[in-house]
Structure 1
């Protein structure tokens, strides 16, 4: 980018290069306001982008002349003063848009609007700002982003374009997709696919998340041979794994109450015990990872955080799935506001302490569960439904 300030020239005019994004979708440039670069807000922005299915390709701090030129360019494009003072430029590959290749000619622009709104909203919450100031400015489509990249990062432009294409290609599903199964895409996308005429679940991992795939392969290929309740992998590749689709038949009433029938609660604990005996901890176990088929058999999924003990705890009661990981634990852990222990994650589903679930006679377990349901589960769900009704009523009358 030239140091000469020429108001008649476009600050993001394309540099001379043989590379061209062609039909690639998803290449995006995000200009970040100077208020976001202090503290850890920029890191939080990148983390939020990752949750939005975006991979960071490059970061550049803008110099004074670049800041001024970009501000003026944004202002001219808007027909008013720039809504932000850009300090940092992020180049990302938006994988959600890349998947829409050939589906919608306006996919870039549509995604830009929703992404801008989400990132702005999150940052304003953290900065306690009103609505009048933008925290980020996002390129309107791939061509606009490419112009900015070839200007601000000319020496790296072709490499960045090649990397964007590599990530978009790797993220494509190798089987016909029926529908998405999960909105969570921070590490992988989960889809229902057609595999040789049968329904299957495909998990495709993003570049840089290969260690999570390795744990899934370990569980579904190796551990599934020795531990009952882990679906056997149908196939797996460089960045994906395919497992059978299991229709969860646990009634919606149980799911809503989050209170399991007693036999199902016992299945959960037996599975965690078997995993412990094999020398592993699930580390992310909850009711959302447990499926019950038509025969009432338990199937456990999502082994991205599977941990192999270097030294197995002396008892199951001391295992990481029961008491949580130790303070010095250095492995990967899922994002959570609470420590994943039995009491905090599963007791509300079983209605029993671990000791009672494993040792009490069945009549006593039923009695304790009835008391728990009446004094804890039911009041909590009544309060929750009342709160949701109040929210809906408030929206209707607002």
Structure 2
């Protein structure tokens, strides 16, 4: 099977059942083989008393296996250190037990376990197996998290939510919520380069970047001052350290540096500035032709630039084809890049109208189909989850309104 399994360990007693995990709950698994192949699944687990030795095998010819907890064992967490290729769902009370263990900084849940729980619960929420509110409840533990790997998993989760909520009131709630989670750890970081291990260096860069990208005021102020110091004192060899350079450039002469600065120019929230950059970028004296499409994608990734770029591309599609040709796979990949946050029927209709007006897609044929599928999935996500997520985030940042 190409998809991982989903295990549900306690629907009845401590029995574990399995089914194929599908991110789209409406998708259908086409079992083409008459043999109906299934995995042998290696089950490892731990409880509040510690990890269990050995592996319990879930045979491919059985419908369930049973795990028996001993005296004093109040919870279990399956798939130690996320080694097995499967996701795990739990009953509602067991999820709440695990959330409490995370909040209490349980020594039994390793760094990998904590990242695994974040990965699993948000994937399960996406596929409508677990309520999104429960997944968000679990993320509240992050204000006591201090290790890189779980924060890397959390960054991916929040990035997906940020894209889903682009240009909605809930996006502002998400920013404030992430600020509240990362601020305790942010206060322990230094903006000055110090000697530290590689993993602590990664954690520092991740925390400072996340704090800046979600608008923590102190982080924004510090980034602005670093950037202006670099801009005004380059003759004095003012240098922004490598670990911080990407987001310091972004939130405020080599090819890599030029790429970072081009990306930084896409960050302003002022649409007029973005429009001016878009106009200047068309001129090859300012932006090389091979970099122009990347500039379009970067501007569109800014919520304030998404509509600007989309309208520009629709109005100038013949010029783009003339410049890059329909055989360009880079031009073909532009459409999915600038439409991947669309989540309304109106935007879908505009895409369909554009494709009908210019039916010749060349190397972009599959990209068009992929873009349409993405937007339809986004529309479905918004209809299914957006109200719940928005309400949860609003309550989290404005509890007095609850």
Given the two structures, how large is their TM-score scaled by the length of structure 1? Answer: 0.29
Q: With a CA cutoff of 8 Å and minimum separation of 6, indicate the structure with the bigger relative contact order.
A: 1
Structure number with the higher helix fraction is 2
Higher strand share: 1
Structure index of larger Rg: 1
